[in-house]
Chain A
Amino acid sequence: MSKVVKVFYLCSLQERAGKSFLSIGFIQKLQKEGKRFAYFKPIGCPRGAYSSKADKDIEFILQTVYKDRNPYDLVCPISIPDSYYVDLIDSSRKIEYIETIKSAYDKIVKDVDYMIVEGAPSIRKFVRVGIDDVSIAKALGINDLIYICPESSDNCIDNIFFTKNYFESRNVRMSGIIFNKIDLEYIARIRELQKDHIAKYNLPVLGIIERSIQLFSPRVNEVMEAIGGEFINEIASAGLNNTVETIIIGAMSAQAALKYLRQVKKAAIITGGDRADLALAALNEDVSVLILTGFIQPDAKVITVANDKNIPIILSPSDTYTTMRNLERLKPGIQKDEIEIVLKLIESQIDWDFLLK
């Protein structure tokens, strides 16, 4: 390979750092700039353990921003599920995996000037069996990795330097940092840290992207799937696309709960199916969905009001705590109607002059 291909290898120490989000943005930006580029994700994570080999995020990317470019198997040559996976990839198969990845990568890299490579959920992932991000990067001849930092606390500095040292110990380089999903109040602090700690180590900050409540909030549809719930008011089905920005558990009296209900936007209210008082109070506020636990059918009046306001009611089979825990595990994906917002954010907040030079 004689020509120089610029590679954006996006990796992170923490999971859920927003690599898919960044990939969607990078793809759109390079497309808009008319660049010859390709997107590659060495290892995908199928939804079910063994049921399907398709990674949800990659499928979404192929259906929206990266249509008709490369087939799934070339974009993502390997699929490894998230549970009991070590047995599948004992080190004896390491060579086989690396070869498969390399062969796919070589096929798509030959016609492009830029490569977007989306790393594993964490740089720790698959390190036991030698197919972690750094090992793959090295096998592909990539020495520069972009570190994605999703932390809105001073911990970020320790993690950046830990990763930097780790990369150096393995003879790769941190070529830049993208702060992603940062809380608004922490942005000014990052600028301070950049000035006082990061700049002197010649680590470029490629961008600081604020946590977008809209993008990282699930839709009611996703909430329903996460809790295994049943949607009971068909009339309000338009509301299944509502965004859920806050979750509130309604346990106190309706009167007392009002104070909290009034403060929130686009909330999912979790309460018992037999709490008509609270459900009715909540329906007057900015509510996206009503989740009724214990599979208890609500009062007819609750359904009527919810129908009027197009607010879906979901019956959850579990108790309140379990429902809440399942919701916390939910990893909301980017929606089709949000990809333009992603481009806008990536375009305005990333230093493209530096990246494309």
Chain B
Amino acid sequence: MLKNNDISYFFDPKSIAIIGASSKAGKVGYNVLRNIVESNYKGKLFPINLRAEEILGYKAYKSVLDVPEEIDIAIFVIPSKFVNFIAEECGKKNIKGLVIITAGFKEIGGLGITREQELIQIAKKYNMRVIGPNCLGLIGINYNGSFAANTPKKGEIAMISQSGAMLTGMMDYSMDQAFGFSCNISLGNKADMDEVDFIEYLANDPDTKVILCYLESIENGEKFLRVVPKAVRKKPIIILKSGVSAAGARAASSHTGALAGSDIAYDLAFKKCGVLRANSIADLFDYGEIFLYQPIPKKNSFAIITNAGGPGIVATDAFEREGLKFAQFSEPVLHLLRENLPAEAAIFNPIDIIGDASPKRYEFTIKTIFGLNHETGQGSIEEDDITTHGALIIMSPQAQTKPADVAKLIYDITSKSLSDKPIVCALIGGVSMAEATKYLKQHHIPCYRFPEGAAKSLKAMVIYNGFLNKQIIEDLEVAKFKVKQEKVKEIFQKVRADERTVLLSHETSEIFDIYGIISPKSRLAKTPAEAGKWQREIGKSVLKIVSPNIIHKTDVGGIILNIETEQEAFEAYVQIIENAKKFGPQSARIYGVEVQEMIDFKKELKVNEVIIGMSKDPQFGPLLMFGTGGIYANFMKDVSFALSYKFTKENAKELIENTKIYSLLQGVRGEPSSDIDAIIEVLLRLSQLVNDFPEIVEIDINPLLSFVKGYSAVDIKITISR
């Protein structure tokens, strides 16, 4: 990453050069210059054009080096083959930032990749920052430096998009909405600056209240995890992430890899950082709007007020689906509702004020649940009796419903008395609701056509509030166990020298031993006599063929159980080698036979097979997995995941609690509880192992046998990168 972190010159430049400015309408070089001029840019403009003397009234120059004044940024709209040459000139001119709208770089492959690398080298040399290439441009505080057809309204949403077309679409969509933009950034190829750079900057931008992103990929997951949580504490960040990540293409040779979907790491990373994930364009703007205009609820405790049963039930379902909680009204509130609403009304949450509800009845109900004095609009019920921290108000078109009047009084109440409780509306209908919908939107009350959208938006606020109340990630205490890392390094060196990526079982056993994870004792025997010797040391054993090329050991007769004497071990060794040579792949390299302690779990009161794994995500690093193990692991798919980044004891607990097997571990039908604390410790130790050694790409422990006291990691597979 290039240095120079103050990037304010991109948003509020004092002077701009347009490389390739044109006077011919229809050319990108014309559109960009026209947009800057029409957006009332007050700074200095320098069109750069080899032939023109003047463009749109501005004196044109042949080169940036001919411009007699300082230039903050240069916007490129020339063919790609000339870009690097001119970028070099920009460097000599001490220009701070380049916006490369031009395409024909990394996205075309081959020569384009080299061209982009060269561009970055030039930028580095002159300490310039680069937006793009292959982007729409940027709309900053004081100018529209893009080739979009329109300049969007000013507002407080910052929009970052990896797709230029998505950005123009969203800008166009916003034209008849209440909200506008503080800035619009098109990322393009992200050769230098990416979403994280802009998020970091915009977090401190006083003109931006909410950051919305449309992303197709995140290249630098580590930077994202480090920077974004701090930004989220300052303002909400909502991301619509599309596309299948590169992770999906990786070969999933482990259970963990196969069970972890391509997108799960993004979900986990967003959750860890407090980023709200939108699943559709509609969600993206719905969330943006509610954060922009409504206060964040202090608690997950909401009311639904409806004038019809059906929509009320639909809304209730949506609330439950989203995990939104219903406020339990206090007795004084219930008393007021009971006394003043018709007998047919349902006064418990959701409140059904029935079909003939007038604006007055809406007003009474809203004020009552929020404890507002009906005369003055100020609080009348004791503070402790107010349990509602936000509300969804539903209107369906009935004969007595006066949507426009209700809309006005909702605005009236919220603007005067409800500064810390979000109110959203769902106006179910079309024509008869149009005026009220328009009024509410104009007055910054989020208004949805159906209750589901409202529930999702409120949920987003609850999640955000939950994140704000969590400990700051950087301050989290991550367990650190004392281990002899050197020894593990040596094992990996040996594996690499052997041109292997998969560790043999005695190697994994040794590593687990070093990291304090209990697995059955294991030794590698290279001759029948050695097998006998190890059996004597270990006791009752199972003998297994050791070869990286033999995956299905049982199929080739590569496992013999219940070896109780030295002689049996000697014979089993010979038998296993003969079987493997006869039935295994021809070119299999056989390292010998593993003599592994046979766990006698019949003596255990209770045994549960769990799976613990790690699969390395290309963007966000190690991904830990826990779930139901054994041979049915892949079919049960009872697993949950967590990022190993800043993985705490609480995270480990949560990881276990998110699975079905957690209930079994707790004990059912009078069973004793399994040693869950021990499993938590395994997860923490495993997390440390994978963070200590980034070369580990996959770990599978399947099964890990969990007992009432203790556990045993029976079958372990570790894969390292080449």
| Known A-B contacts A189-B527, A246-B585; A183 and B590 likewise in contact (beta carbons under 8 Å) | yes
The answer to whether B551 and A185 have CB atoms under 8 Å apart is no
**A184–B590 contact, CB under 8 A?**
yes
| Interface residues in A228-256 (C-beta closer than 8 Å to B) | 245-247
CB < 8 Å neighbour of A185 from B577, B585, B587: B577
* CB–CB A188/B530 < 8 A: yes
Tell whether, in the assembled complex, residue A184 and residue B551 are in contact, meaning their CB atoms are under 8 Å apart: no
CB <8 Å contact, A192 and B527:
yes
B586 with A247: CB separation less than 8 A: yes
Q: Which of B545-574 contact A (CB under 8 A)?
A: 549-552
Please, which residues of chain A bring their CB within 8 A of the CB of B550?
263
Q: What are the residues of chain A within 8 A of B585 when measuring CB–CB?
A: 246, 260, 263-264
Q: Are B587 and A246 in contact (CB under 8 A)?
A: yes
Query: At the interface, yes or no: A139 with Cβ under 8 Å from chain B?
Result: no
Residue of A nearest to B556 (CB): A263
Which residues in chain A, 164-192, are within 8 Å of chain B measured between CB atoms? 183-185, 187-189, 192
Q: Is there an interface contact between B530 and A184, defined as CB atoms closer than 8 Å?
A: no
> Which residues of chain A have C-beta atoms less than 8 A from B526's C-beta?
185, 187-189
Interface of B is mostly: loop
Min CB gap B352→A, angstroms? 57
Please report the C-alpha to C-alpha distance between residue A122 and residue B550 in the assembled complex, in whole angstroms: 34
- For chain A, residues 293 to 307, give those with C-beta under 8 angstroms from any C-beta of chain B: none
Residues of B within 8 A of A20 (CB): none
Is B589 in contact with A263, judged by CB distance below 8 angstroms? no
Task: Name which residue of chain B comes closest to A190, CB basis.
Answer: B527
Which of B551, B581, B590 touches A263 (beta carbons < 8 Å)? Answer: B551
- Which residue of the partner chain, among B549, B552, B590, B591, contacts A265 with CB atoms under 8 Å? B549
Interface residue A259 (Cβ < 8 Å from any Cβ of B): yes
Task: Kindly list chain A residues whose C-beta atoms are within 8 Å of the C-beta of B591.
Answer: 184-185
Residue of B nearest to A184 (CB): B589
Flag A243-282 by CB within 8 Å of B: 1 or 0 each: 0011100000000000110111110000000000000000
Hey, which chain B residues are within 8 Å of A262, CB to CB? 551
Q: How far is the CA of A266 from the CA of B551 in the complex (A)?
A: 16
Tier of interface size on chain A: 10 to 19
Option from A183, A192, A247 in Cβ contact (under 8 Å) with B529? A192
A207-243: which have CB < 8 Å to B?
A: 213, 217
Q: How far is the CA of A77 from the CA of B229 in the complex (A)?
A: 80
CB contacts (< 8 Å) of A185 on chain B: these are 526, 577, 590-592
Known: A188-B526, A188-B592. Contact between A245 and B587, CB under 8 A?
A: yes
Q: Which chain B residues in 512-566 approach chain A with CB under 8 Å? A: 526-527, 529-530, 549-552
Contact A213 B590, beta carbon cutoff 8 Å:
no
**How near does chain A come to B525, taking the closest CB pair, in angstroms?**
9
Give Cα A185–Cα B587 distance, bound, in whole angstroms.
13
A260 to B529 alpha-carbon distance, docked (Å): 32
Q: Which residues of B contact A217 (CB under 8 A)?
A: 587
Residue pair A213, B589 in contact (C-beta under 8 Å) = yes
- CA separation between A266 and B587, bound complex, in Å? 10
- For A264, list chain B residues within 8 Å (CB): 549, 585, 587
State how many angstroms separate the Cβ of B406 from the closest Cβ of chain A.
62
8 Å CB interface, B589-616 against A: 589-592
Would you give the 0/1 interface string for A188-199, flagging 1 where the beta carbon is closer than 8 Å to chain B? 110010000000
**CA distance in complex: A167, B280 (Å):** 85
**Residue in B552, B586, B590 whose beta carbon sits within 8 Å of that of A246 in the complex:** B586
| Chain A residues positioned under 8 Å from B552 (CB to CB) | 259, 263
B550, B587, B592 pick with most chain A CB within 10 angstroms: B587
**A263 / chain B contacts, CB cutoff of 8 Å:** 549-552, 585
* Chain A nearest CB, measured from B443 CB (Å): 59
Q: Which of chain B's residues have a CB closer than 8 A to the CB of A260? A: 585
- List, in ascending order, chain A residues with CB within 8 A of B589's CB: 184, 213
Q: Which chain B residues lie closer than 8 Å to A213 at the CB level?
A: 587, 589
Q: What's the nearest-Cβ distance from chain B to residue A215, in Å?
A: 12
Residues of B within 8 A of A189 (CB): 526-527
Q: How far is the CA of A250 from the CA of B585 in the complex (A)?
A: 14
Given the complex, which residues of A lie within 8 Å of B551, measured CB to CB? 262-263
Within the assembled complex, what's the spacing in Å between the Cα atoms of A263 and B529?
29
- Of A185, A189, A259, most B-chain CB atoms within 10 Å: A185
Known: A185-B577, A185-B592, A259-B552. Is A265-B527 also a contact (CB below 8 A)? no
Minimum CB–CB distance from A168 to chain B (whole Å) comes to 30
Which residues does chain B contribute within 8 Å of A246, judged by CB atoms? Answer: 585-587
Closest chain A residue to B524, Cβ basis: A188
CB-nearest residue of chain A relative to B499?
A214
Complexed CA–CA distance, A272 and B586 (Å) = 21
| B549: chain A residues within 8 A (beta carbon) | 263-265
CA distance A264 to B549 in the complex (A): 7
Complex-state Cα separation, A183 to B590, whole angstroms? 8
Residue of B nearest to A217 (CB): B587
CA distance A102 to B354 in the complex (A): 119
Chain A residues within 8 Å of B590, by CB: 183-185
Closest approach, in angstroms, between the C-beta of B309 and any C-beta of chain A? Answer: 54
Minimal beta-carbon separation of B51 from chain A (angstroms): 47
Q: In whole angstroms, how far apart are the Cα atoms of A206 and B524 in the complex?
A: 26
Least distance between B483 CB and chain A CB atoms (Å): 30
Bound-state Cα–Cα, A189 to B574, Å: 12
A153, chain B: closest CB distance, angstroms: 10
A188 to B546, CA, bound (A): 14
Kindly state the separation between the CA atoms of A150 and B159 in the bound complex, as whole angstroms. Answer: 71
Cα–Cα distance between A259 and B527 once the two chains are bound (Å)? 29
- Closest approach, in angstroms, between the C-beta of A122 and any C-beta of chain B? 24
Instruction: Give the residue name and chain of the A residue nearest to B545 (CB).
Output: A185
A-B contact pairs, 12 of them (CB 8 A): A183-B590, A185-B526, A185-B592, A213-B587, A245-B587, A246-B586, A246-B587, A260-B585, A263-B550, A263-B551, A263-B552, A265-B587
Residues on A close to B: CB < 8 A? 183-185, 187-189, 192, 213, 217, 245-247, 259-260, 262-266
CB-based closest 3 A-B pairs: A188-B526, A185-B590, A245-B587
Known contacts A187-B526, A192-B527; can you find 5 more A-B pairs with CB under 8 A?
Answer: A183-B590, A188-B592, A246-B587, A260-B585, A263-B551
